Amino acid sequence: MKFGVAIAAGGESRNEKTEQVSHPSHYAWLKDLCGVEPLDICRHLDFNTGNAIKYLLRKDKVDGNKTKTEKRIEDLRKAVFYIQDEIKLLEHGTTD
């Protein structure tokens, strides 16, 4: 049985939507550069460290209405948030 590609209301195929979830384009540059995706790295780290790494690797690659600089600053702030949260957890002895 052969399956066709269904087109979603927004004009994207289901395959394109799945690709955006499992292999987002804003991380593709890393795979092209060295053959790994952030998920390959982050799955071996704790939650906060993994998220910080994810935002550092994403840089300004996410599409949106912000300038490249605004996106970069936002991603850096997100990374700092997760790093600071991990420091708090470690200082209070709530992580191993």
Question: Residue 72 contacts by C-beta under 8 Å, 6 or more apart in sequence?
Answer: 59, 60
Widest CA span in the chain: 58
Angle of CA points 75, 51, 18, to nearest 5°: 90
Global confidence as pTM: 0.66
Amino acid 4: pLDDT = 46
Amino acid 91: pLDDT = 95
Q: What is the mean pLDDT of residues 20-39?
A: 71
Q: What is the mean pLDDT of residues 59-63?
A: 66
